[in-house]
Amino acid sequence: MGIRDIIEGKKQWRAHVARVKALPPDYQIVYKEMQRYVFKVGPVDLLDGSLLSGIVDFFEEGVASGKGVMELIGPDVAAFCDGLMKDSRTHAEVYQESLGEK
C-alpha cells in the first residue's frame, strides 16, 4: 500500500463520514451503533467490501421515502447486522478457529 493509496483511502473515508453526518440524528445514532458492532465482530474483508457504504445508501433511501430508521431495520440492530454479514467470514470466527487449533 503506497502513500497514494492511503491518501485516497482517507478521502473516501471522509466522504463517507460526510454522508453519515448528512443523515437525520436518529439515523446517525443507529449507524454509529451498527458501525461499532461491525468493527467489533464484522467481516474480515470489511475494508475491501461495500458493507458500510451500502448501509448509508440504504439509510439515504429510507430518509428519502420518509421512513424512520427503526422501520427499516427493526428493533434489534445486532440481528440486522448479523443478517448483513451472514455470508462473510468474521473476525469472531477467525478467533474461534484459532482457539480450536491450540
Tell which phi-psi region holds residue 89, choosing left (phi > 0), alpha (psi between -120 and 50) or beta: beta
Q: What is the pTM of this model?
A: 0.81
DSSP characters over 27-78: HHHHHHHHHHHHHHH-BTTTTTS-HHHHHHHHHHHHHHTT--HHHHH-S-HH
Q: Angle at the Cα of 76 (from 58 to 35), degrees rounded to 5? A: 55
Residue pair 7/39 in contact by the 8 Å Cβ criterion: no
Of 76 and 100, the structure prediction assigns the larger pLDDT to 76
Is 102 a residue whose pLDDT tops 70?
A: no
pLDDT recorded at residue 65: 96
pLDDT recorded at residue 48: 65
Delimit the domains of the chain by residue range: 3-101
3-101 belongs to which CATH class? Answer: mainly alpha
**Interval 37-92: pLDDT, tens:** 988 887 877 666 688 889 999 999 999 999 999 999 999 999 999 898 888 887 77
